[in-house]
């Protein structure tokens, strides 16, 4: 634990020591800490971070969370201020990141298992169409599409997934084949039932 005297300003060296000591600063995009709300009044919110310096909740965070006493909240560290000896945190970005990670995990499983996924045709773009699903936009090449209307919800299959570049390519080529397979199975069952009834 690094002890900080609040009466003095942080030097750049001290600030760097804090960043090295906190695990949340070791990964640039995951600077998240869990805190407990100790007191919640109209003018002030105290939270316990088990760290010996003050934490300022942004107005956006307070409005978004409306935390109650003893609630546990996850906070992203936005900045450590060397002038006022405080850190500024936010929670809305944490939730957005968690939702994104959850969405990408679903998409990875969908891609791995070659499942179909529902999406909405947003608009025409060069070489194909933009497809929206789960808050993410994918690319549908014209050569992999079937006749559709903009705004229509349809089924798609992910054929390429690059998480680092956040690029997704989808296709409808297998959709027609899969539909035909299902129709053939239904037709064969229907014929079998008719033959059974005829024999009776």
Q: What is the CATH number of the domain that holds 168?
A: 2.40.50.140
Q: Are 134 and 107 in contact (CB under 8 A)?
A: yes
pTM for this entry? 0.47
Alpha helices in 22-172 (DSSP H): 59-65, 92-113
Indicate whether 39 pLDDT > 70. Answer: no
Indicate whether 169 pLDDT > 90. Answer: yes
Sorting pLDDT into bands at 50, 70 and 90, what band is 28? Answer: very low
For position 170, what pLDDT does the model report?
A: 92
What percentage of the chain has pLDDT greater than the value 90? 7
For position 187, what pLDDT does the model report?
A: 73
Q: Residue 176 and residue 3: Cα distance in Å, rounded?
A: 66
Indicate whether 55 pLDDT > 80. Answer: no
For position 102, what pLDDT does the model report?
A: 77
Cβ contacts of 79 within 8 Å, gap of 6 or more: 87, 88
Most confident option among 3-17, 94-108, 151-165, 166-180: 151-165
Condensed to tens digits (0 to 9), the pLDDT of residues 68-101 reads 667 766 666 655 554 555 555 555 555 566 667 7
The mean pLDDT of the chain is 69
Instruction: Say whether both 59 and 26 belong to one domain.
Output: yes
Say if 81 falls within a structural domain.
yes
For position 90, what pLDDT does the model report?
A: 55
Sorting pLDDT into bands at 50, 70 and 90, what band is 140? Answer: very high
For position 181, what pLDDT does the model report?
A: 73
What are the structure tokens assigned to 178, written together? Answer: 């899969």
Tell which residue, 144, 147, 141, has the closest CA to residue 128: 141
Q: Which of 54, 71, 90 is the last residue of a domain?
A: 90
Cβ contacts of 122 within 8 Å, gap of 6 or more: 129, 130, 131, 132, 137, 150
105-113 long-range contacts, CB within 8 A, separation 24+? 106/134, 107/134, 107/136, 107/158, 107/161, 107/168, 108/161, 108/163, 110/158, 111/158, 111/161
Say if 6 falls within a structural domain.
no
Instruction: Say whether both 101 and 151 belong to one domain.
Output: yes
Q: Which of 57, 90, 123 is the last residue of a domain?
A: 90
Say how many domains are in the chain. 2
Question: What are the angstrom distances between the C-alpha of 40 and each of 45, 61, 64, 69, 126?
Answer: 5, 13, 14, 6, 53
For position 86, what pLDDT does the model report?
A: 57
What are the structure tokens assigned to 190, written together? Answer: 């229907």
Which residues constitute the domain of residue 126? Answer: 97-178
Query: Which tops the pLDDT comparison, 15 or 181?
Result: 181
């Amino acid at each position: 634990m690094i002890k900080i005297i609040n009466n003095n300003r942080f030097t750049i060296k001290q600030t760097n020591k804090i960043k090295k000591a906190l695990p949340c600063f070791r990964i640039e995009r995951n600077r998240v800490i869990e805190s407990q709300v100790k007191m919640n009044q109209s003018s002030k919110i105290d939270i316990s971070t088990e760290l010996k310096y003050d934490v300022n909740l942004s107005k956006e965070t307070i409005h978004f969370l409306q935390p109650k006493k003893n609630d546990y909240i996850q906070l992203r560290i936005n900045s450590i201020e060397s002038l006022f000896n405080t850190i500024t945190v936010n929670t809305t970005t944490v939730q957005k990141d968690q939702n994104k990670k959850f969405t990408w995990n679903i998409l990875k499983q969908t891609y791995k298992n070659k499942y179909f996924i529902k999406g909405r045709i947003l608009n025409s773009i060069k070489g194909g169409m933009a497809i929206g699903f789960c808050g993410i936009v994918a690319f549908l090449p014209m050569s992999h599409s079937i006749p559709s209307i903009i705004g229509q919800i349809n089924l798609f299959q992910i054929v390429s997934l690059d998480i680092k570049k956040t690029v997704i390519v989808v296709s409808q080529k297998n959709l027609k084949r899969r539909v035909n397979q299902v129709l053939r199975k239904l037709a064969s069952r229907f014929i079998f039932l008719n033959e059974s009834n005829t024999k009776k």
